[in-house]
Amino acid sequence: MRRILVAGITGAGKSTLARTLGERFGLPFHEMDALHFTGPGWAVNPEFGAEVARIAAGPAWIFDSFGYPEVRDLLWEQADTVLWLDYPKRVVLPRVLRRSLRRTLLRERVFGGNREKLTEWFSPDHPVRWAWSQHATRRADIGRRVHDPRFAPLQVIRFATPAETAAWLAGGAGQQP
């Protein structure tokens, strides 16, 4: 495992797992949202695709995303391992709700210095609404990719619950060979 893609729906814990593995394995962790949003007003990095391609061409990395269609195939083609956090809505929704509430109420700065605002909660692409509306679509898309011969050979480890993920990490299966 040298090129790891952590996939799943918003709120599944992709960044947390990717960061943990980066520290454990000594691999560079790249937070996709931080690469994508680089300025106020959720400004998008005009060099996003090129920057991700440059990183993905490297010998070792961990990315925490499944989103961003402009780089999705590239990452699946370059990855040697996909860790799929395939958690049900009943797990993901409370997580993303708590995170967004905390960010909104505490006015935490996130990507590009932005903050989640109460008015954004009514937008269809707000993380809580996105996790609710896109859960089945995202799950089906990842499932198709897992079996797509374009991405072979690719080691896929699917976790159906946070307990499975924790057991994998604690049991040494998450150790770098």
pLDDT tens figures, 129-175: 999 999 999 999 999 999 999 998 899 999 999 999 999 999 876 55
Q: Is 3-89+136-170 assigned to CATH 3.40.50.300? A: yes
Measured CA to CA, the distance from residue 45 to residue 117 in angstroms comes to: 21
DSSP SS3 for 63: strand
Measured CA to CA, the distance from residue 31 to residue 14 in angstroms comes to: 9
Query: The pTM is what?
Result: 0.92
Measured CA to CA, the distance from residue 46 to residue 158 in angstroms comes to: 33
Q: What is the pLDDT of residue 3?
A: 96
Taking residues 105-127, what's their average pLDDT?
Answer: 91
Q: Strands, DSSP E only, in the chain?
A: 3-8, 29-30, 37-39, 43-44, 61-63, 81-85, 155-159
